[in-house]
Amino acid sequence: MSRGDADIDAKREVVIVGGGPAGCGAGVFAARYGLDTVVFDRGKAALPRCAYLENYPGFPGGIDIETFRGLLHTHVEEVGGELRPELVESVERAGSDRFVVETDEGRRVETEYVIAAAWYDGSYLRGLDEPTMFEEHEHHGEVEEQFDPDYADEDGRTPIEGLYVASPAGHRSAQAVVAAGNGAHVARCLLEDHRLAQGYPEGVAPEYDWLRQDAEFTGEWADRDRWREWFENEAGDDHGLDDDRLEELRETYIDRAFETRLTDAEIEARSDSGVERLVEELGAERVLDAVDDATIREYASETVESDAE
């Protein structure tokens, strides 16, 4: 039973339940888009069962689980998301278009969207009163009830508007890299639905999260009129929007496109910053311990000579 607005501790646009690869993958995409996003991460998780992660692209020597999880969580916070080490106990409806998420600490958060990203346990969703979410299966000779991994479609959408499932997702939850990609995919689908609700025509509703080199904005694509022509062509003629609303959405779309533009100097600065953040997360001492003493002495000597010139 709802306790009313007086008991709501916070309002967020997106609540993600689970801070593993799927949840953090979704959190990064949602937060980078600008949605007010919180990731709750506490409870039984799959990733800590792994002894050492050796098949995640980008880590040729593998990476220990604690460091990997730390990088995931730091990334969510770096892009503006909030990470809270609390266990979600229930998700309930709050009207036709909102949810209330309650944690074990009694925190109640109202939100427009919920992304389920906890592989092992979907019991917190029982308050939505959807019996088709759960199925019986036999485990070690005993019949148990579990969240049905086929309840959501392949894009993570469910029959409940605003509820998405990144995990459990069958075989897509079985490997960290696949789970992370699935979380990002589900978040993109959420963003597409969010943009459709704002009025974006279907042809321009999908969100592409990338930064573009300066060269991408040369020639005709340096002209906003060329972008306007492209937008109107993709939007088509049956969008049902009045001219003012279409213009507003078009200009917002183009503004966001131009905000992704990076000069060579900005790319270099971000590259340096990215390495610094990685070293900061790993710990400078740990990085230095991985480098042999001769290389460190040679680098220090060259740095002193360079500073003296």
**pLDDT at residue 1, rounded to an integer:** 41
Confidence tier at 6 by pLDDT (50, 70, 90):
low
Q: What integer pLDDT is reported at residue 164 of this predicted model?
A: 98
The pLDDT, as a whole number, for residue 55 is 96
Structural tokens at position 197: 């609700």
Alpha helices in the chain (DSSP H): 21-33, 65-78, 176-198, 224-235, 243-259, 264-282, 284-289, 293-308
Kind of pairing, strands 99-103 and 88-93? antiparallel
Question: Residue 237 — φ and ψ, nearest 5°?
Answer: -110, -5
Q: pLDDT tens, 66-96?
A: 999 999 999 999 999 999 999 999 999 998 8
Q: Average of pLDDT values for 22-44? A: 95
Look at residue 235 in the predicted model and tell me its pLDDT: 96
* Structure confidence at residue 2 (pLDDT): 47
Q: Band of the pLDDT at 46, cuts 50, 70, 90?
A: confident
Of 213, 222, 221, the residue nearest 268 (C-alpha) = 213
pLDDT at 20 over 90: yes
Q: How wide is the angle at C-alpha 170 spanned by C-alphas 164 and 172, nearest 5°?
A: 80
Amino acid at 117: A
Q: What is the C-alpha separation between 263 and 80, in angstroms, rounded?
A: 23
How do beta strands 212-213 and 261-262 pair?
A: parallel
The domain segmentation of the chain, as residue ranges, is 5-195, 199-262, 264-308
pLDDT digits over 252-297, tens only?
999 999 999 999 999 999 999 999 999 999 999 999 999 999 999 9
Nearest to 165 by CA among 177, 181, 146, 151: 151
Give residue-wise pLDDT tens across range 139-167: 677 777 788 888 999 999 999 999 999 99
pLDDT of residue 266: 97
Question: Domain 5-195 is in which class?
Answer: alpha beta
**Can you tell me the mean pLDDT for 179-186?**
97
What is the per-residue pLDDT across 187-245, written as a single tens digit (0 to 9) for each?
A: 999 999 999 999 999 999 999 999 999 999 999 999 999 999 999 999 999 999 999 99
Q: CB burial class (10 A; 0-12, 13-18, 19+) of residue 275? A: exposed
* Helix 21-33 / helix 65-78 crossing angle, nearest 10 deg: 20
The closest alpha carbon to 22, from 46, 51, 42, 44, belongs to 46
Write down the pLDDT at residue 199.
96
Q: Is 95 left (phi over 0), alpha (psi -120 to 50) or beta?
A: left
The per-residue pLDDT of the chain, averaged, comes to: 92
Burial class, 201, CB count within 10 angstroms (exposed 0-12 / middle 13-18 / buried 19+) = buried
